[in-house]
Amino acid sequence: MLICKAYLSAARQIQDAASLGAILETSRKNNQRDGVTGMLCAFDSNFLQFLEGAQEAVSATFGRIRHDPRHFRIIELYEEPIDGRLFGNWSMALTPQDTLTAQQMHACRDLQTATVDGAGPRTHRDAVCALLETFRKRAR
């Protein structure tokens, strides 16, 4: 069974192009090995990441992320079975803040605010689904 998992975290330090490149390089290597695909969105010193793949592989990847010292305030937002991969062409795509549409930026900030304010899982799921739909539309 394939799943999609999304999480939000805060970066311990501001991520410049070089540090994001290093994260991307490591993620791609590990994800290709493990059959995981996805996208890392960097905005306002936060990370929003979507991981897709077999449940065991995604869980193992997320476990590594939980222990990565570059992240704190890691919040699981969403985990759902999927019929097919949205980010299947990328072992890990990077979406920096300057490439987000206004709608996507607003949705990312809303998710970040909702997690700080303690919104429940249903709010997170609805927001993630709406955001995933915007990425799906842009991917066509």
- pLDDT tens digits for range 21-75: 888 898 899 999 999 999 988 888 888 999 999 999 999 999 999 998 878 888 8
- pLDDT for 82 beyond 80: yes
Average pLDDT over every residue of 98-119: 79
The confidence score (pLDDT) of residue 97 equals 86
CB of 65 within 8 A of CB of 80? no
The number of distinct structural domains making up the chain is: 1
The confidence score (pLDDT) of residue 123 equals 64
Instruction: Please name which of 19, 27, 25, 11 lies closest in space to residue 70, comparing C-alpha atoms.
Output: 11
The confidence score (pLDDT) of residue 122 equals 59
Range of the domain at 70: 2-139
The confidence score (pLDDT) of residue 140 equals 37
- pLDDT tens digits for range 115-135: 666 655 556 778 888 888 877
Q: Domain with 103 in it: what CATH number?
A: 3.30.70.100
> What contacts 24+ positions apart, CB below 8 Å, involve 111-116?
111/8, 111/48, 111/77, 112/8, 112/44, 112/46, 115/8, 115/73, 115/75, 115/77
- pLDDT for 139 beyond 60: no
Q: Looking at per-residue confidence, does 113 or 33 come out higher? A: 33
* Cα 9 to Cα 37, 131, 132, distances in angstroms: 19, 16, 17
